Structure 1
């Protein structure tokens, strides 16, 4: 579980239920991170209420600072803050997996492709 999660609101009062939900969903993303960088990850969630002519929307942005200077960020605009967190969780999962493949060279090797490679 990510220990340091800062949740703030701009034009939006962060409720206790949203804070618990966001902490639960974003906090479990550490399982996809490389082992050495799990402890020092800091996540920042900012929720902004945007008044539109056809109804209120919420702009949610999440930034995860990973040790080594890497920042993984995602942003979404949704009419429900809980649904927005779910969408951002999926976006961040993909970005973290790509980051992990880039940083760990043994994950780039595909053993299945070696089976079909022709030897000269």
Structure 2
């Protein structure tokens, strides 16, 4: 597995790079077809006098299956964050392998990997609120992500949502050709939103 290690707002020293490679480089032993893996290291802004935590995000492409696995961890200690991140990725890979065995022979949507990769690499735009700071409630929009939406069936969207560990997933429903949102309900089931112009 090839590791592409990037620093977002923090320098990735050779020592940090070696630690990341040591802790995460062996994940491909859990699944033969792991392809490229991107590891992004960032520093969280400290809250009032405290020390900011490190944020480590890993995105792994599985080219043979057209899926993407992603996990994120935060801690003041990079080693601790990497250990927890490695455990999360191992669980995701195990779930992914179980699903592949369960759905063996079922056709896959090849565009899903490209869509998810673009979502993972989507541009993040910092927004400075242009509002009166004396107002009681101030809306502070932190991030905007732009990404392409790919056509897939509802069950495939739910599968991708679970693999990514998200509680919602936006996609174009192949059956209706409309943008839809699959989401995880509080009762553990799944819901589907189909927006219409009013």
Q: TM-score, normalised by structure 2?
A: 0.48
- In structure 1, the residue matched to 2:26 is 28
Q: Larger Rg: 1 or 2? A: 2
Equivalent residue pairs, number: 99
Structure 2: any 5+ residue segments left out of the alignment? 103-198
The counterpart of 2:101, out of the listed 98, 101, 104, is 104
Structure 1 runs (4+) deviating above 2 angstroms are none
Q: TM-score, normalised by structure 1?
A: 0.77
- C-alpha RMSD of matched pairs (Å): 1.2
**Residues 29-68 of structure 1: matches in 2 within 5 Å?**
29-33=27-31, 35=32, 37-38=33-34, 41-53=35-47, 54-67=50-63, 68=65
**2:42, 2:88 → 1: CA distance?**
19
Q: What is the Cα deviation at residue 29 of structure 1? A: 0.6
**1:21, 1:58 → 2: CA distance?**
14
Higher share of residues assigned helix: 1
Cα shift readout 1:74-112 (whole Å, capped 9, x = no counterpart):
01111111211111000000000111111124xxxxxxx
**1:21, 1:104 → 2: CA distance?**
33
Cα shift readout 1:40-71 (whole Å, capped 9, x = no counterpart):
x1110001111212212111100001113211
**1:46, 1:78 → 2: CA distance?**
14
